[in-house]
């Protein structure tokens, strides 16, 4: 089964996703966040400490299928950071992303997600994907926010 957990920033999405597998032994946590400042470093540390120690963690943004093993239950946390990381890796000037570059970013995100979902389905594994809700509010006033 594939489940999508969405909600606002810092709304408890990760905690909820983790609770779905809390009593399971064979869980892999696919973490897409990167440490870019002390606050994020602390958030990552707290996230790791809150998870059961027997869960395996895979950290990365590319070739997510490398996270797959014998375990049957996976959490991808999160699609928003996966997208942001790919965007920052691909864009030379983050202030200006034209439609061609936007399409390249979308294609790379889609490729990662599609490959992971396909592999999960083929193996009949379970996947919970976490993402931020970004489309139900005001249109961002800056280009990066709209990408």
pLDDT tens by residue, 7-28 = 988 899 999 999 999 999 999 9
Given a cut of 90, whether residue 112 has pLDDT beyond it is: yes
Say how far apart CA 147 and CA 137 lie, in whole Å.
15
Given a cut of 80, whether residue 118 has pLDDT beyond it is: yes
CATH tag, 2-134: 3.40.50.300
Q: How is the beta sheet containing 56-59 ordered, strand by strand?
A: 2-7, 126-132, 73-77, 27-31, 56-59
Q: What global pTM score does this model have?
A: 0.87
Please tell me which residue, 34 or 72, carries the higher pLDDT value: 72
**CA 62 to the chain's CA centroid:** 11
The pLDDT tens digits for 43-101 are 888 888 889 999 999 998 889 999 999 999 999 999 999 999 999 999 878 788 899 99
Angle, alpha carbons 131-137-141 (nearest 5°): 100
Marked catalytic residue, from 47, 54, 114, 143: 47
Which stretch of DSSP H or E encloses residue 27?
A: strand 27-31
114 catalytically annotated: no
Ramachandran category for residue 125: left, alpha or beta (phi over 0 → left; psi -120 to 50 → alpha): beta
CA distances from 40 to 46, 98, 119, 122, 140 (A): 10, 29, 30, 34, 23
pLDDT recorded at residue 35: 84
């Amino acid at each position: 089964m594939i489940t999508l957990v969405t909600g606002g920033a810092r709304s408890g999405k990760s905690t909820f996703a983790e609770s779905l597998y809390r009593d399971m032994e064979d869980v892999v946590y696919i973490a897409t966040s990167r440490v870019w400042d002390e606050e994020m470093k602390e958030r990552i540390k707290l996230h790791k400490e809150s998870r059961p120690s027997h869960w395996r963690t895979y950290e990365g943004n590319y070739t997510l299928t490398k996270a797959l093993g014998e375990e049957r239950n996976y959490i991808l946390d999160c699609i928003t950071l996966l997208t942001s990381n790919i965007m920052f890796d691909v864009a030379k000037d983050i202030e200006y992303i034209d439609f061609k570059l936007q399409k390249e970013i979308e294609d790379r995100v889609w490729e990662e997600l599609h490959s992971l979902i396909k592999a999960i389905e083929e193996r009949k594994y379970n996947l919970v994907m976490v993402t931020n809700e970004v489309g139900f509010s005001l249109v961002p006033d800056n280009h990066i926010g709209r990408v």
